[in-house]
A and B are shown apart, each in its own frame.
Chain A
Amino acid sequence: MLASTALAACSDSGKPRLNWYVNPDGVPVFEKYAKECSTGDYDLEVQLLPSGATDQRTQLARRLAAEDSSTDLMNLDPVFVAEFANAGWLQEVEGPIADSVQQSVEGEGDYLSGAAETVTWDDKVFAIPLWANTQVLWYRKSLAEAAGLDMTKPVTWDQVIEAAAAEGGTVGVQANKYEAYVVWINALVQGAGGDIVSDTEAGRDAKVDLDSDAGRKAAAIIQKLADSPAAQPDLSVSNEGTSLGQMFPAEGPGEFMVNWTFVYKNYEPGDGKPTTPEQFKDLGWTRYPQTVAGEESKPPVGGIDIGVGAYSEHPDWAMEAAECITSKQAQVDLALDAGLMPSTNSAYDEVAASGNYPKDLIELFRTSVDEGGPRPKSAFYAMISGAIQARWHSPTSVDPDSTPEKSGKYLQDVLEGKSLL
């Protein structure tokens, strides 16, 4: 028994093995870096997590709650960092990287401040940003032109919905009952200058701000889309993948779609891709739509941060490996091979110089992360997210006169342990 346990912790070469739990995006790059970042002391091995963010969180949390010593490194969605750090499941990051992250939060380091912000908790650094994702508005240039929409200027949600409806097109969003729906709602609320919750460091006593003009404006937009002919028929179960096919459908003028950065590589013509070069030329992109005309939008911030497990048997090696796999070159490779954008300015510069992406698109990604709106950072994030999903889903049931008020009260009750979720 003891022998088999000892064997399990060792790789084929007999060196100790460090497990790196990864989400299934950019896996070939992870495997390459698992090899490159292995040293004479240890071997790094990639272990695959499920595809859904909630499932990834559940699997990691189950291991860490059981004080699993074989969880050495892990890819974390930004919203998990605060939860995991508060639970004591992550090693604190110290040294030059931590200093750089802290400076970047103030806008003075190499990390994009939106990305740096995601790894701090309680004034300490608990993970290293690997890639920083964000959403932009993808659209068919011909559709926008037919609707008379000037895409060189910021557009609002109202304009986008009306333009799509007028031309028989659609608007693609993520509105299934899952985390990405909260991403949308959070961006809408923040775009109107509000917040879902504030003072989140107070834990269960955080201030719920949803019952506000910003909350009502966000609800009005969701209601408007749900009631519009521009809504896609699967609106209530839509996800990042469902609206991709609506951009270049067999019939119809296409769509406006808010989605992550991977979309560009997804449509880029190539082997096995259904998009033709003519269609690809018709693909446009611009900053995330405004909730309120004239008020800067707050594009969602996502991505992946690398954390080191608190119960790892080799914390120093794991931290060393974490630095290696978040290196500038690794970030550049992820961007070029998998369309996952970097978290540092220096890596962004290199990706921009590579010519693999249009310059304006790269700059759009960078400013979107830097000026984006993170989701609430709280040890009770799962409750916040779940409570929002419970009261805002389905999109057809959202009403600006009642949803923000009811969901605000419900969220407060859930945080105080007075209500089931």
Chain B
Amino acid sequence: MSSTSVPAAALPAQKSGPSDRARAETRLGQKLVAPAIVLMLVVTAFPMLRAIYLSTFDYALTAPDDRNFVGLGNYLTALTDPLFWQTTGVTVLYMVVTVAVELVIGFIFAMVMHRVIFARGVIRTSILVPYGIITVVSGFAWQFAFSFQNGFINGWLPFVGDEFNWFGDTTPAVIAIMVSEIWKTTPFMSLLLLAGLAQVSEDMIEAAKVDGATWTQRLTKVILPNMRAAIMVAVLFRALDAYRIFDNIFVMTAGAQRTESISFLTYRQTIEQFQLGLGSALSVLLFLSVLLVAFLIVKLFRVDLAQARQES
């Protein structure tokens, strides 16, 4: 944006409110954007309203004649079912562990990408490669890697036997899924953190150095506090993404061994079981819980989003 100053005398006389031309432009803008808004409403609001409507019925697709209105009954069934809370617990576990690990590794990658002097392009590209791979493909790759029949993980780890079945029990299966998820999305985290790192003023770091601050002090007192908004955006994006985890579970365990997430439960209820009523209730609950997660993260970081976008 230009910041050239204009002499006050050259400015036209100030009117109260926008000019006719500005109003006409606004109207034109509204007309131009209207089709997009209508389209957005059709593709987002309609399915949501339809899901809310369907969630009030006991309705299976294969028994269309047995459709009964049950009001909030499906929500009650879901919220009082131990399976719902178990899958929610597993989902939160996926989210917390993967985001925490990705934050640390992603930050290290971001530092490397920021500071690297030689072979910059190659290093940055290699760090970002996993993110370019489709999740289903990476899920299969890691499933093969963890397989005791043709995988290499068991051979690499001294503390597990060659015939250890990673997908035979909940804990190892969850770990395998998390590893795949972390491998796939850490680059995304590091990309967002790199953007934050680039915004930290070198002058401030230099000043801290002159004042005798150690590397750890510069990191914790200068770099991280100045990246708070970027960290929040990275954590928020990844946490919401991780909360909706589906592909890796679908490929690696198909939900077996209690590894399924809330998204997977919703999918199974709706698509596999054709239980449109219960499935819709679950999807509404999933939507509400995603909102809750977003709200909690924003509150936790106490960041003003407008400020993070550098708006006044």
Contact = CB atoms under 8 A, between A and B. Distances in A.
Interface of A: 54, 58, 61-62, 65, 83-84, 86-88, 176-178, 203-204, 233-237, 379-380, 382-383, 386, 393-394, 396, 417-421
A417 B59 CA distance: 9
A215 to B, nearest CB: 21
A420 B84 CA distance: 7
B256 A176 contact: yes
B131 interface: no
Interface stretch (B31-39, B95-103, B263-271): B263-271
A408 B58 CA distance: 21
- In the A-B complex, the 7 residue pairs with the smallest Cβ-Cβ separation, listed nearest first, are A177-B256, A87-B62, A83-B62, A420-B81, A420-B83, A233-B163, A236-B168
Contacts of A233: 148, 163, 165
13 contacts: A58-B271, A65-B61, A87-B63, A177-B255, A234-B149, A235-B168, A236-B165, A237-B165, A380-B63, A382-B274, A386-B268, A394-B168, A420-B83
Interface string B60-72: 1111101000100
A379 B64 CA distance: 10
Interface string B272-297: 11110110001000000000000000
Contacts of B64: 87-88
Interface in B169-222: 169
A58 B254 CA distance: 15
B67 to A, nearest CB: 12
Given A236-B168, A237-B168, A203 B63 contact: yes
A236 B83 contact: no
B167 interface: yes
Nearest to A421: B273
B90 to A, nearest CB: 14
B89 to A, nearest CB: 14
A178 B63 contact: no
Most chain B CB atoms below 10 A, which of A83, A204, A379, A393: A379
A386 B58 CA distance: 18
Given A386-B268, A394-B168, A420-B269, A234 B62 contact: no
A378 to B, nearest CB: 9
A201 B63 CA distance: 12
Contacts of B145: none
B298 interface: no
A234 B165 contact: yes
Given A87-B64, A233-B163, A236-B257, 6 more contacts: A54-B272, A58-B272, A87-B63, A234-B165, A420-B78, A420-B81
A419 B268 contact: no
Nearest to A386: B273
Contacts of B256: 176-177, 236-237, 393-394
A236 B147 CA distance: 13
Most chain A CB atoms below 10 A, which of B62, B73, B165, B278: B62
Contact of A379 (B58, B62, B268, B269): B62
Contacts of A177: 253-257
A303 to B, nearest CB: 21
Contacts of B277: 417
Contacts of B273: 382-383, 386, 421
A235 B256 CA distance: 13
A421 B256 CA distance: 12
B148 A419 contact: no
A382 B149 contact: no
Nearest to B68: A417
Contacts of A54: 272
B265 A420 contact: yes
B77 A418 contact: yes
Given A236-B167, A393-B256, A61 B61 contact: yes
Contacts of B62: 83-84, 86-87, 379-380, 382
Contact of A234 (B77, B148, B269): B148
Contacts of A88: 64
A321 B271 CA distance: 30
Nearest to A393: B256
B63 A86 contact: yes
Contact of A178 (B70, B148, B254, B268): B254
Contacts of B255: 177
A182 to B, nearest CB: 13
Nearest to B256: A177
A420 B273 CA distance: 10
Contacts of B275: 383, 417, 421
Contacts of B73: 417
Given A386-B272, A420-B265, A421-B273, A204 B167 contact: no
Contact of B60 (A178, A234, A380, A418): A380
A421 B77 contact: no
A420 B77 contact: yes
Given A177-B255, A419-B77, A421-B268, A237 B167 contact: yes
A421 B168 CA distance: 20
Nearest to A418: B77
Contacts of A420: 77-78, 81, 83-84, 265, 269, 278, 282
Nearest to B86: A420
Interface string B32-66: 00000000000000000000000000101111101
